[in-house]
Amino acid sequence: MKNKHIIWLKVVAWVVCLISLGDLLYRYFTQNLSANPIEFVTNETGQTALKLLIASLAITPMRKLSGWNWLIRFRRLLGLFAFFYAFLHLTTFVVLDKFFDWQEMLRDVTKRPFITVGVLSFVLMVPLAVTSMAWAIRKMGGKNWNLLHRLAYASAVLGVIHFWWKVKADITEPATFGAILAILLIYRIVVWSRSRLKAGAGTAAKAALASE
């Protein structure tokens, strides 16, 4: 894929990632944020954060299965937008929902398990966002960086649990997110165990040759 095309695709990706924010702003200015605007904004930003986080996790399998290596250039963009929406989600909770009432927030975090899990999911996203730039890969080394960035899976799993726990009756939406994430995780585990088997077979072959 030529650089010129990548730039255009990045513009498209930025536009797609900003649709949710644009929709919220449009609804705000047209006073169309439903009967419960705070709940609406919290849910919309939470869902978008989770969608983008899972989309960023889908990049590697899609790249490997399709052979489109250029896809990797979109992983950071999606991950950072996921963090951006998670941050908006948290800000809505802190500023609009709780009006900076730290005591009540602490009570929520300790007494309402779905909030505890949401906070954990967000906390795991922070080191990923901080180390998302190229200098961090250089400084940490590719191996350590990759290891740290597996936290994205943990964050997404916690995000799905947070969502699942929050809904009371219809679990269709969190179950759909969970199913997609499960497929991505299974793919990762299969690739990982295959490479372990190959490495194991290589070592066994070397040992057999050495003993001849």
Residues that bind ligand HEM (CB under 6 A): 39, 42-43, 46-47, 49-50, 53, 86, 89-90, 93, 115, 118-119, 121-122, 159, 162-163, 166-167
Alpha-helical (H) ranges within the chain are: 3-29, 37-66, 75-91, 102-111, 113-130, 134-140, 142-148, 151-166, 172-211
Residue 211 CB, nearest approach to ligand HEM (Å): 52
Residue of this chain nearest to ligand HEM (CB atom) = 46
Query: For residues 81 and 84, what is the distance between their CA atoms, to the nearest angstrom?
Result: 5
Residue 159 tokens read as 């995000």
Please, is 110 exposed, middle or buried when counting C-beta atoms within 10 Å of its C-beta (0-12, 13-18, 19+)? exposed
Residue 29 CB, nearest approach to ligand HEM (Å): 22
Report the residue number, 139 or 173, with the smaller CB distance to ligand HEM: 173
Residue 121 CB, nearest approach to ligand HEM (Å): 4
Beta strands in 128-182 (DSSP E): none
Residue 175 CB, nearest approach to ligand HEM (Å): 12
Q: Which amino acid is at 79?
A: G
Report the residue number, 76 or 140, with the smaller CB distance to ligand HEM: 76
Which residue is it, tokens 């759909």? Answer: 176
Report the residue number, 6 or 180, with the smaller CB distance to ligand HEM: 180
Report the residue number, 27 or 39, with the smaller CB distance to ligand HEM: 39
45: part of which helix (H) or strand (E)?
helix 37-66
Spatial CB neighbours of 145, under 8 Å, sequence gap ≥ 6: 131, 136, 137
Query: For residues 62 and 17, what is the distance between their CA atoms, to the nearest angstrom?
Result: 19
Report the residue number, 71 or 121, with the smaller CB distance to ligand HEM: 121
Report the residue number, 52 or 71, with the smaller CB distance to ligand HEM: 52
Spatial CB neighbours of 115, under 8 Å, sequence gap ≥ 6: 108, 109, 162
